[in-house]
Amino acid sequence: MSTITIKYKMCNIIQELYLENPQKNSSKAKMIDVNSAVTLGTISTGIGFSALEELTAAINMPCVTEKLYNKIYKKTSDIILLASFKVMKEAAKKEAELARNLGEID
């Protein structure tokens, strides 16, 4: 089974995204189509559409259209941004609680 495993550097959360129907029903497993997966890969590696075009041409693979790429990129970026804010907010709460417990606040 093909999966993409993402480990977020800031919070060390690991998430698996399945490219096909997972055999096991897992609450953490999410289905992702190939165009979304490749767009997520460009975001994760820091490349853009032009580099994706070059890569897919080099391996003789059809590339997602720029219009669809941009649509998926916007949607994916918004999801990543919301998830990042949620994680940072939770981390700030934990850090504030630790500081209060250690008496390191005024």
> Which three-class secondary structure state does DSSP give residue 35?
helix
Q: Average pLDDT, stretch 19-29?
A: 59
In this predicted model, what pLDDT tens digit does every residue of 33-50 receive, in sequence order? Answer: 889 889 988 998 899 999
Per-residue pLDDT at 106: 67
Characterise 103 by phi-psi region: left (phi > 0), alpha (psi -120 to 50), beta (else): left
pLDDT interval class at 29 (50, 70, 90):
low
On whether the pTM is more than 0.75, the answer is: no
Per-residue pLDDT at 37: 87
In this predicted model, what pLDDT tens digit does every residue of 62-95 receive, in sequence order? Answer: 999 999 999 999 998 888 888 888 888 988 999 8
Q: Which of 3-17, 25-39, 50-64 has the lowest mean pLDDT?
A: 25-39
Residues 65, 71, 73, 76, CA torsion sign: negative
Rounded CA separation 48/42 (Å)? 6
As a whole number, the mean pLDDT across the chain is 84
Q: What is the DSSP letter of 7?
A: E
CA 13 to chain centre: 11
Per-residue pLDDT at 5: 81
Q: What is the DSSP letter of 24?
A: S
pLDDT interval class at 25 (50, 70, 90):
low
